[in-house]
Amino acid sequence: MRIGDMAAAAGLTTKTLRYYEDRGLLPAADRTANGYRDYVPETVNRLEFIRRGRTAGLTLDQIGSILAVRDIGQAPCIHVRELLGKQLSDLDARIAELTGLRATVAAVSEAAAAGDPASCDPGRICSYL
């Protein structure tokens, strides 16, 4: 399969496939006589795995580390569990941070909605913020 076919099969662009190869997520593809990349159909599994990882919010580096474990013939289960656990706690931290920020902004925003523009002190630039 040429890169365009593989990209279509995986729902990606050819650019992205070359990028994944550069990043080490895909092994260097075989080449046809004219230099075109020649993929085995199974590569779509690898691309779908990458997509599932991205859906879980993992970075390409994290996904690459899972693939690297698999590529040396080991089951990456433990590593995957660790990454998912870390991802969960990261998400909780980010959500908590944003929720706190939301509360701050909501308070300021309400004060701004209720305030009187005439009372604005130019020295403070904006009395609301």
Partner DNA sequence: CCTTACCTTCCACTAGACTGGAAGGTAAGG
Partner DNA sequence: CCTTACCTTCCAGTCTAGTGGAAGGTAAGG
Minimum gap (Å) between residue 33 Cβ and a second copy: 29
How many other C-beta atoms can be found within 10 angstroms of the C-beta atom of residue 14?
A: 15
Q: Is the dihedral of CA 10, 19, 51, 41 positive or negative?
A: positive
CA–CA gap between residue 54 and residue 58 (Å, rounded)? 5
Residue 65 touches which of a second copy, DNA, none (Cβ within 5-8 Å per kind): none
d(CA 93, CA 25) in angstroms, rounded, equals 28
Contacted entry of a second copy, DNA, none for residue 41, CB cut-off 5 to 8 Å set by kind: none
Task: Decide: is 16 part of the binding site for DNA (CB under 7 A).
Answer: yes
| CA-closest candidate to residue 47, choices 78, 88, 85, 5 | 5
25 touches a second copy (CB under 8 A): no
Binding track, positions 74-103, relative to a second copy; x by CB under 8 A: -xxxx-xx--xx-xx--xx-xx--xx-xx-
Check binding of 34 to DNA (CB under 7 A).
yes
Confirm or reject binding of residue 54 to DNA (CB under 7 A). yes
